[in-house]
Structure 1
Amino acid sequence: MNAVVELPRSAIAQAASPASVVLTHAKTVQEVMKSVMKSNVHYGTIPGAGDKPTLLKSGAEVLCMTFRIADKYEVTDLSGPGSIRYRVTCVAEHQQTGEILGSGLGECSTDEEKYRWRKAVCKEEFEATSPDMRRTKFGRKQGGHYTVEQVRTEPADLANTVLKMACKRAKIAMVLNVTAASDMFSQDLEDLDAELVRHLAEDEREGQMQVVRDEWSAKANAAGNEETLRKVMQDGVKVFQSARDKDGYAAFAKAVQARGAELKQGAPA
């Protein structure tokens, strides 16, 4: 006769497959995201940074509370002459058992673009600053570019800021590693340089507008008669005027003119 053997709870936990553990964690993260987290508070979306939402610091704290994670920090000072730089390891411990669950690595330096430079207070400050400690920065804007006169920041004034940023980056990396949340979130990108965010947004908009341009050019090329082409032209003009897309409008108008010439000659769509 086969005996019924009851495994101790610890043995049952050990017998659970790694896949089931990961699946359970993932389901928990999804439930927390759905019922507790709020967009632009615990997570956000940054244009051009991919389809996944980015996990923000407040969201990482919610997940730490959910999984009973205590975070501890190990800081390595990599600063050198004229630069403050910290590398931080965030270690996750279970609050009840003290078991080490994993870790995440983060780094920050005053040599990063957004910490290295600041806008000059006035023209006099810019001109009074040593040439090797000042610069004119060029940026993109709709329809052209702009310039900003900048001077070098004092690294020591930013020491606490970069240390906190390194800790935050390490913590979010740890949370993603430990909670199997990488499928739902990307690494925290909320600290991206504002100029880079603007460029990403512009690049994403350009990509989206190219899809619209191709779509309306295809509609013009598919018009079977002049009446249909005229309707496509009227609707398409409204789209490009609303988007203020002069280049798209020009390409669309060219496609309409070309198709109009073909229809006059009796060419099929």
Structure 2
Amino acid sequence: MSMNMPAEYQEQRIEYVPKVEVTLEQAVDNLKKLDQIRRRIMRQGVDYDVIQGTPKPTLLKPGAERLLQFFGLGHRVQLIDKKEDWDNGFFYYQYKVTIVKQYPGYEITVAECEGSANSKEKRYRNQDVFTIVNTLQKMAIKRALVGATLQATGTSGMFTQDLEDIDLQGQQVSNQQNTYADASDTISQKQAKRMFAIAEGNEELVRGILDKYGYGHSADVKKIDYEKICSEIEKAKLEMFMGDPTDDKNNEAV
């Protein structure tokens, strides 16, 4: 027990039993609103991007800032550690981003995450490190911001943390191509299994989307169509969980 605690509480054991604080209807409604924000407002290539070989879109810095705005949250940035060796050309920065909810007279901390960047990273090795010091600082902050935002908004099921081949503006900096050189290549067995994993074993859902693309079997799927199919499977799974939005409109009209 903390020694700063009042004496009358020193001998008490306080146990916390986690419990759901929202109703099922509120949870479903929140998921619907999140999905609407992602599909109708957030922009691919600006707020998020889809990278080949990843199961979920990658959240970018503008998208993280937009999500915080939608949730009415603010954030604070704090430098945790830095190493600046101007003689040998090595620079390292570590920042912490704290997501806060402000109320009149006080605020609460919702989430925290730390991020770092250094001049030895692969993307910076062939650059003049003395000209990218500010870039390193911004990258460390961005990594912390995206991680903290995913925690605070509960959107890690929709987006993933930033990848090695995404820079501050969301542009790819690696030599990886967005499309495959040979469009006739078919996916691997591991990639086929991933489609069913996304659908959580719902074979009927996967088969329906494969039929839409003209494939009779998962092994026939071409790599050029793979990510689009995975995205549709994920979208269909989410819609099944939340229910058909047209049902709500029909109910309102009754």
Distance 1:177 1:69 in 2: 12
Instruction: Give the structure 1 partner of residue 139 of structure 2.
Output: 165
What pairs up with 1:99-248 in 2 under 5 angstroms? 99-118=108-127, 153=128, 155-189=129-163, 190-191=166-167, 194-195=173-174, 197-198=176-177, 201=178, 209-211=185-187
- RMSD over aligned CA atoms reads 3.1
The residue type paired with residue 34 of structure 2 is V
Give the CA deviation at 1:36.
1.3
Instruction: Give the structure 2 partner of residue 247 of structure 1.
Output: none
Tell which structure's C-alpha radius of gyration is larger.
1
Instruction: Give the structure 2 partner of residue 31 of structure 1.
Output: 36
Distance 1:66 1:159 in 2: 32
Distance 2:20 2:187 in 1: 48
Higher helix share: 1
CA contact (8 A) 1:26 1:180 kept: no
Question: Are residues 23 and 181 of structure 1, via their aligned partners in 2, closer, same or farther at CA, if it must alter by over 3 Å?
Answer: farther
- 1:92 maps onto 2:84 in alignment: no
Residues paired across the two proteins, number: 161
Does the residue aligned with 1:86 lie in a helix, a strand or coil?
A: strand
CA contact (8 A) 1:22 1:180 kept: no
Does the residue aligned with 1:58 lie in a helix, a strand or coil?
A: helix
Note the residue ranges of structure 2 that are not aligned, 5 or more in a row: 1-17, 189-223, 225-254
Question: Are residues 205 and 80 of structure 1, via their aligned partners in 2, closer, same or farther at CA, if it must alter by over 3 Å?
Answer: same
CA contact (8 A) 1:25 1:179 kept: no
Identical aligned residues as a percent: 26
Give the CA deviation at 1:43.
1.2
What pairs up with 1:56-67 in 2 under 5 angstroms? 56-67=60-71
Give the CA deviation at 1:177.
0.8
CA contact (8 A) 1:46 1:197 kept: no
TM-score (ref. length: structure 2): 0.54
Deviations 1:186-220 (A, max 9, x none): 1123228723534xx57x667971449xxxxxxxx
The residue type paired with residue 182 of structure 1 is S
Instruction: Tell which has more relative contact order, 1 or 2 (C-alpha 8 A, sep 6+).
Output: 1
Distance 1:117 1:99 in 2: 43
Give the CA deviation at 1:27.
3.7
Deviations 1:113-144 (A, max 9, x none): 222213xxxxxxxxxxxxxxxxxxxxxxxxxx
The residue type paired with residue 115 of structure 2 is G
CA contact (8 A) 1:76 1:87 kept: yes
Give the CA deviation at 1:168.
0.8
- 1:68 maps onto 2:72 in alignment: yes
Distance 2:95 2:48 in 1: 22
Note the residue ranges of structure 1 that are not aligned, 5 or more in a row: 1-13, 119-152, 213-242, 244-269
The residue type paired with residue 117 of structure 2 is C
Deviations 1:73-131 (A, max 9, x none): 1112331532111111100001335110011221111111222213xxxxxxxxxxxxx
Give the CA deviation at 1:44.
1.0
